[in-house]
Amino acid sequence: MRQVSLGLCFVVATMGTARAQQACDDPVNLPNPVYLSFGETQVPLIKALGKALRATENITLIFRTAGSCTNLDALYNNGKMTTNLFYIPANYDGTSTPPTCTPATGGVIPDIADSVVFVDACPLTKPAGVADFRAAAQPFSFVVPLASSQQAITAEEAYFLFGFGALAGMVAPWLDSTVAYTLPTSKGTILNLAAIISVPPAKWQGTSVATLDQLAINVGTSNKPDATIGILGSGTYEESRSSIRPLAFKAFKQYHAYYPNSTLTALDKKPVRDGHYVAWSYTHWLARTDINGTIINPTARRVIDLIVGENVTPAPAFDPLLIQIHSHFVPVCAMHVKRDFEGGDLSLFQHPEPCDCFFDSQTGTPGPTCSSCTDNSTCGTGKCRHNFCEPR
Amino acid sequence: MSRTIFLGSMFALLAACGDGNKVKQDAAVPDGPGGDAGVDASCFTNPQTHYEIINACTTDQAVDKMPVTPLRNPDGSLPPLP
């Protein structure tokens, strides 16, 4: 009898200590929430930014990941996020998988949506009262396992491989459609590469994988390394360098193929910045605005301003530019080319406040003309930015 | 004679433009959707247009590849998608 009593006490005690699922609308544990719906490639950025915002401004980022077109659809049409969401907790380490919370009954409409491609690449119409804020550039790549013998792919090869199918396309060694991995047409990655190789997203042939993370795993663990190929954005494949690598890419009318970085192992994204690597797009952050184009939600406005690099008041206690750079993107201040639509021709670009020296200091070695500074006095006709003399 | 040597040297210098740090996988034959863009090993030193930008002189590592694409049209153009 005593053993039964003890057993019952144990069960009751255990039930009493079972942890309830965290509610997203808990103002104590998740203060000053901003709800976001963004692409998987933005996860490193949001983790780092969320950590900084939670620690210094008591803002809680609550989010889900989805394809660019899905994100836009939710914002445009007040689509509610009803499943469990991730959130950045207090004392978050910035890299681990965040915990989840349950949204309020009926779900929640995102305050911010992200597209990793020009919004016109999605078959949606942006309504009045939603503004699009352009942020950093992100390269997209055809990726292979480390053991692959292949170093490069041309736009023509990709056209046949993904437009005709692996076997019918006859582009050796990529002749097995079961390991030619693609993504759903809602994903910005396929939308960009579709424009670059002139194969509409709906016509891509291969094995579709639901998420970029799973695609990276499939490519990285394939037992057919030569036949295996996939597509990813830098925000994902640079987190998986231990198992996959990007192919150098030769665009239509280009003489040579180039990696997204100046070498396979570099992090400088120089070919993206100078136009030799053409498969890239800007990230876009959108929110609802008033008739003057000002984001209505002040906390969402601050988050977007920090992401796109606007000067904000009060100034943050962290460097948003540093977060962008270390999230595998190229801030616009380090770009020297631009484009006006998805896959569009490149043209020369000069940012009014360039940050090349700072970018290079974080991803490799600053150029020989880069000198350190604390103010403009030692920069001649240039300006001291992030402790480097930049040309203006 | 000295002028000939000088001109020869200049041509050699121009030919070397953009040659740094290339990895040759196959012989290089640049091509495009409208057929061959022309066999041209030079690069553009003052790019202005899209074509010049993507083919500008650079120290970025380049990979040369001659793709084998049996479905290509005889004139080098791409057939329509199925």
- Cross-chain residue pair A258–B32, CB shorter than 8 Å: no
Q: Chain A contacts of B58, Cβ < 8 Å? A: 271, 274, 276
- Residue A286 token pair: 């959108």
- Cross-chain residue pair B33–A163, CB shorter than 8 Å: no
Query: Is A203 at the interface with chain B, CB within 8 A?
Result: yes
- Cross-chain residue pair A256–B22, CB shorter than 8 Å: yes
Phi, psi of A290 (to 5 degrees): -85, -175
Name the closest residue on chain A to residue B49, using Cα atoms.
A347
Helix and strand numbers (H, E) in chain A are 12, 18
What pLDDT is recorded for position B41?
58
Q: What is the dihedral of CA A276, A250, B23, A166, to 10 degrees?
A: 150
Beta partners for A180?
A229
Query: Is A345 at the interface with chain B, CB within 8 A?
Result: yes
Q: CA Rg, chain B, in Å?
A: 16
Tell which of B29, B39, B81 to mutate to test the A interface (max A CBs under 10 Å).
Answer: B81
Contact status, residue A258 vs residue B54, Cβ threshold 8 Å: no
pLDDT at B11 over 70: no
Q: Three-state secondary structure along B13-34?
A: HHHCCCCCCEEECCCCCCEECE
pLDDT digits (tens, 9 = 90+) for A114-170: 999 999 999 999 999 999 999 999 999 999 999 999 999 999 999 999 999 999 999
Give SS3 for A221: coil
pLDDT band at A18 (very low <50, low <70, confident <90, very high): low
pLDDT band at A20 (very low <50, low <70, confident <90, very high): confident
Confidence (pTM): 0.87
pLDDT digits (tens, 9 = 90+) for A40-64: 999 999 999 999 999 999 999 999 9
Hunting for tokens 């999605």 — which residue is that?
Answer: A122
Mean per-residue pLDDT, A1-5: 47
d(CA A133, CA A210): 27
Listed residue (A355, A356, A358) closest to A372, CA to CA: A358
Cβ neighbours around B63 below 10 Å, total: 23
Pick from A152, A198, A275: which is nearest to B65 by CB? A152
A-facing residues of B in 6-65 (CB < 8 A) are: 22-23, 25, 28, 30-33, 37, 40-41, 43, 47-51, 53-56, 58-65
What DSSP assignment string belongs to A329-358?
-B-GGG-SEE-SSTTPPPEE---SS--HHH
Pick from B25, B43, B48: which is nearest to A151 by CB? B25
- Cross-chain residue pair A171–B68, CB shorter than 8 Å: yes
Contact status, residue A338 vs residue A349, Cβ threshold 8 Å: yes
